[in-house]
Every structure is written in structure tokens, then in C-alpha cells.
Amino acid sequence: MRPIRYDFPGMYHHIMNRGNKGEEIFQEKDDYKYYLEVLKRSQEEFDFNLICYCLMTNHLHLLVQTGRVHLSRIMQGINTIYTKYFNKKYGVKGHVFQGRYKSIIIQKDPYLVEVSRYIHLNPVYARVVKRPEDYRWSSYREYIGRGGEGIITNRIILGMISGDKGWSQSRYKEFVEDRLKEKDSRYPGNLIRQMILGEKLFAEKILKSSKQERRKEGVRKKEGKISKERIINYVCKRYHLDSRQMKGPKKKRNLVRTREIMIYLLRRLAHLKSREIGRLMGIAPATVSRNCLKAWEKIKSGEQEYKEIISRIISE
């Protein structure tokens, strides 16, 4: 059985991903550069903060803070894009990464800064370099004010140290080097259920929230499945449109809004996947996800039109 992924907006995750069968996932400098570019673009598309990273030859570490998009969707997007690039470049087929990524939920204080240190010291632990600032493919140099790729949000961790950026960079460097003196490469703390790093009360809160969310999901499934034909006909009739007008990219405001509603209903009530909706409407799965997210935000903010449509189509 696959482990449950716990994720809520604002949560911090330490992600570890290895190459398939322990093989290399970065063979040349351009591979590292491409992956970093994917991380940069993905933050814009999937609404998450990259706190720090370290890319090794056959594995990688990411510390992220998720937003409205679930972590599994973020990693699926990143892994898919890089796998296509890697396989095309090296003329191979199949998986680049080994199974599902591993993720650990991190309590912000005091564990976040500890985990960032562990990630930045990975090249030293692996005896690739003697000093973490000598390793090019991590975010450490940006944390101590010595350049970097400009794709991370380091103010969260540095802000935990001091409000003065220069002082916090200096103190962070000392903090990391102190662990080198201790020669201790263990993970910073004991995990709860092998997936949560934090105090007992923090873990209990996460587990309780997850149970409530799974209960809500069960209720949503019990609402019953409504056919896609019924949804399409209802929306088109309500807005006086032909179903063919819903296909392909849209620029007119009324069509954009109507398609957004239809996509959300197809996901929520017909239980269609993004790929199925994309084929049905002539758009990319990523566009489907974005439309669903927009609709969900409007419903959450109290958009009466969306609530009314859902209520009426269920009751008919």
C-alpha cells in the first residue's frame, strides 16, 4: 500500500528523489542547469516556494513550502518534464527516477533550519567537496551571500535567525560549519510515522487534519457521479452556448468563465481526470488543473453563481 501523502497549504516538505536503480540523473552540467530551470518555471506554475536544494549525481534534495497545489501534482509535473528531457537527450526510455519520491513534513521552528543544514551538507557527507560553498549545485552559496541561481526563497530561514540579512547570512554559515566540526551526518531529529519531523502536538494536528480531509473526500464521493453529457448540456443551456464553443483556447471573458465552471463540474461531479477533460475540451491537462483551481478559489471565497450551479445540477 502506498503511504498517505499529507499536504496542506503553507506546509514545509523535505523531498528526496533518487535515480532509477541508483543510476545517474545528472550526467553533465547542462542537466543540472535544465533541472534548475524546471524548478524555476514550476514555482510560477504550481504556486510553491523552493526554500533550498541540493542536486547530487544520482539523487536530489528539495525543501519546499506548498501553496494551493498539492505536492504530488508539483512533483509529477517536475519529474515528467525532466524525464522527457533526459530520455530524449540520451536516447533512452523508461523511468529516470526510482519509484515515488520520499517526503517528510517539517515543523518550521526549530526544525526547518536544521533540515536546510542537512541538505546543504550533503556534498560534504558524500566526500564530493570539503566545504559546502565549493559545491555548485546547491543553494548554500546563496544563503551565505556568495551568488547563486536566484530561484530560492531564503528569507524564511534567514529571517528565523535575524532581521538583518548580512548578520543572518554570517550566522547561518557559522551554524552550518558547527555541524562539520561535530562530524555528525545524522538526520536532525526522530521522525513520527516515518514522515513527520516535529513535536508530538504538531504531528497530532497534521494527522487529525488529514483524517478530516479524507472524511470529506469520502462524503464527496458519496454525492454520486453525474454524467459528463448531463453537465455539458446543463452548462451550455444555462449560458445559451453550443458545446463546440467550449473547445480549444478561449479569449472572450464570458467563454473563459463558462469553461472554467464546466471543467470544475466535470472534475467534481463526473469524476473525470484532467487528461480526460483535456481531450474532451481540446486543452492541455495543466490548463484543466489551473481552471479547477480558479473555480475552487471562487467557491471558497463565496462565489454564489458557482454554488448555485452545483446545487441545481445535483438536485435535478
Q: Mean pLDDT per 10-residue run, the chain (316 residues)?
A: 65 96 95 96 88 97 91 90 95 90 93 96 95 96 90 94 92 93 82 89 83 50 68 86 72 75 83 86 85 75 72 65
pLDDT in the model for residue 221 = 46
Task: Please classify residue 109 by burial: count the beta carbons closer than 10 Å to its beta carbon, then call 0-12 exposed, 13-18 middle and 19+ buried.
Answer: exposed
Residue 285: closest CA among 294, 274, 276, 295 = 274
**Rounded Cα–Cα distance for residues 120 and 63 (Å):** 11
Task: Tell me, yes or no, whether 55 and 202 share the same domain.
Answer: yes
58 in Cβ contact with 23 (< 8 Å): yes
Residue with cell 445535483: 314
Task: Please classify residue 143 by burial: count the beta carbons closer than 10 Å to its beta carbon, then call 0-12 exposed, 13-18 middle and 19+ buried.
Answer: buried
Task: Tell me, yes or no, whether 80 and 133 share the same domain.
Answer: yes
pLDDT in the model for residue 92 = 92
Task: Tell me, yes or no, whether 116 and 48 share the same domain.
Answer: yes
Indicate the residue among 155, 177, 209 that finishes a domain: 209
Q: What CATH number has the domain bearing residue 281?
A: 1.10.1750.10
**Rounded Cα–Cα distance for residues 140 and 154 (Å):** 10
pLDDT in the model for residue 151 = 93
Is 144 part of a structural domain of the chain? Answer: yes
pTM higher than 0.85 for the full model? no
CA-based end-to-end distance of the chain: 39
Identity of the residue numbered 49? N
Give the angle subtended at the CA of 186 by the CAs of 109 and 58, to the nearest 5°: 105
Task: Tell me, yes or no, whether 203 and 237 share the same domain.
Answer: no
Task: Tell me, yes or no, whether 65 and 106 share the same domain.
Answer: yes
Is 154 part of a structural domain of the chain? Answer: yes
Task: Tell me, yes or no, whether 145 and 46 share the same domain.
Answer: yes
Task: Tell me, yes or no, whether 82 and 201 share the same domain.
Answer: yes
Is 134 part of a structural domain of the chain? Answer: yes
How many domains does the chain fold into? 2
Q: What is the largest CA-CA distance in the chain?
A: 72
Task: Tell me, yes or no, whether 44 and 172 share the same domain.
Answer: yes
Indicate the residue among 149, 181, 209 that finishes a domain: 209
**Rounded Cα–Cα distance for residues 303 and 295 (Å):** 9
Indicate the residue among 209, 240, 265 that finishes a domain: 209
Is 280 part of a structural domain of the chain? Answer: yes
pLDDT in the model for residue 1 = 44
Beta bridge partners, 138, equal 54
Q: 81: which residues sit within 8 A by CB, 6+ positions away?
A: 38, 42
